[in-house]
Structures are given as C-alpha cells and as structure tokens.
Amino acid sequence: MKKTIITVATTGAWPKKKDNPNVPMTPAEIAADVYECWKHGAAVCHLHMRDDEGNGTMDVNKFRETVALIRAYKDCDIILNLTTSGDLNATDETRQLHLRELKPEFASYDCGSMNWQHTTLFLNPPHFLEALGQTMLESGVKPEIEAFDPGMIYNAGYYLKKGILKAPLHFQMCMGAAGGIKASTKNLVFMKSVMDEVAPGSTWSCFGVGASAMEMLYATVALGGHLRVGMEDNVMYSKGVLAESNAQFVTRARRIIEEYGNKVATSAEAREILGV
C-alpha cells in the first residue's frame, strides 16, 4: 500500500482567536495541539510562532520554548518543520537564527517573492534564498520548497543546479493563496508537471486555501502526493462551520487517504520517504 504523509500546519501567521477560538497561539497550546494531531496520524508539524499580542513572530525564544514542549512528549516522534516566513517585518537574520540553534529536520524555503494577499509584498530575494540555502546545508535542515506559482519551481531548479539545494527535493504546492496560482485540479496537474520536468524524483505535498481545500485534498491523493491540513490554511471545517481542532482536519485527511486505498505514513515512515 502506498504511504501518504499528513502534515499539520497548526497556527500560521494570521488567524487569531477572533477568527476561530480553537486556533492554538501560545507555545503550550501549539505543543499540546501538535501532540494531539500526531496521535491522530500527522507525521509532520509545520510551526509558526505568535508574540504575546498574537501576531506572527520569528522570535527564537518562542521557537525554543515550543520545540522543547513538543519534545517533552517522550512518545512523540513527529517531524518538526519550522517556518522561515512567519513575520513580514523579520530580517534575513531572524528568519534563520532558529534553524542554526534548533536544527529541525525540515524548514520552509519559499522559493520566490510575490504580492501577498493583494496588500503587501512577501520578499524572498535571491541573496536571501542563497543565504538560507547555505544555512540549511550547514545545519542539516531539509528545505520544504514552498511554491505559490510555477516560477518558484523553476527557481528551485536554478538553485538545485547551483548546489544551494540538494536532490531529492521536496515541494509544498501552495494552492489558492491570493497573489499566487489559483487552486484547481488542472493547475495542480500543471504544477506537478513542472516539478517533474525541473526536478524529477522529487517528493511533494499540497494544500488548498479556504474553499479550495477539499478539491486539493482529493486531487493530491489521486495524483500521488502528500497532504497538508490545518488552521494555518483554513479556520473553517466546512462552509459556515468553524473547525473544532486541527486534529479534526487530520482525522478527515486520514479518512480520505484510507478510503482511497493508501496507508497513512508514520513519522518514521515519513523520514524514510523524505530522506530526513
């Protein structure tokens, strides 16, 4: 049976308690949430931090505390995937400091700049991507290449040829974010075809923002990819219904995977699949 990895993106940088009171915000809430999701089948957790006012932050102290709390669950072997883009006002240094100290197995590598939510700029210029790639190589952190449009996949191919990224690559297809590619099955097939052209042999995962979530879930499983779910991407479980927890999303993803005929990968199996 094919094994499919579930990543849970618990918090993100924008949703707050006013959007959904079940969004975990503090290190203790995030750690407890991650543990619950792991018990329901999540093999990877993608982590953002919040400051004391609930805003996205790259504060290394918040990452340090949260990672320590997760690792305190001695039976939990979930793969840690730390963001490098949790605060649009962060510096190049603060976006990398936690990687050098904590050395997670995974971290996000947003492979290009874009207009973000039609309101601001999400900047990942070449000098930063080269520095971030070097930091990841030196720290033993595997990049999760977040691609919001096909150009970011081609950028990854350039950095692969340059030696800043090392094969096999792992991509996260980010579908439906305002400013990026629209979420549709047709577009996902195209994104995957670009990946297969640029970096054959890569692994990949996908999520859809908001109303596109279910189409992307089903299409990803059918196309052989892995899944990302969680309140970073959706605070609604269905139309008009707030999500009760991130574990609720994980449970649904598990059901879809198993009903398709695949098996949900454990964290140990995910490490083997992803090469971390």
pLDDT tens-digit series, residues 60-78: 999 999 999 999 999 999 9
Q: What is the mean pLDDT of the chain?
A: 97
pTM, entire model:
0.97
At 254, is the pLDDT very low, low, confident or very high (cuts 50, 70, 90)? very high
pLDDT value of residue 144: 98
pLDDT value of residue 54: 96
pLDDT value of residue 131: 98
244-272: average pLDDT: 98
43-62: average pLDDT: 97
Tell me if 6 sits within 8 A of 264, measured CB to CB: yes
Question: Is residue 89 pLDDT above 90, yes or no?
Answer: no
Which residues on adjacent β-strands are paired with residue 109? 145
106-112: average pLDDT: 98
Q: Does domain 3-274 have CATH number 3.20.20.70?
A: yes
187-212: average pLDDT: 97
CA–CA distance from 29 to each of 63, 116, 225 (Å)? 13, 27, 29
At 86, is the pLDDT very low, low, confident or very high (cuts 50, 70, 90)? confident
CA–CA distance from 93 to each of 39, 89, 96 (Å)? 34, 12, 5
209-229: average pLDDT: 97
Name, in order, each residue with C-beta under 8 angstroms of 75's C-beta and a sequence gap of 6 or more: none
Question: Is residue 185 pLDDT above 90, yes or no?
Answer: yes
120-143: average pLDDT: 97
The pLDDT tens digits for 148-159 are 999 999 999 999
At 15, is the pLDDT very low, low, confident or very high (cuts 50, 70, 90)? very high
Question: Is residue 246 pLDDT above 90, yes or no?
Answer: yes
Residue boundaries of the structural domains of the chain: 3-274
160-182: average pLDDT: 97
pLDDT value of residue 1: 81
pLDDT value of residue 10: 98
Question: Is residue 38 pLDDT above 90, yes or no?
Answer: yes
pLDDT value of residue 88: 84
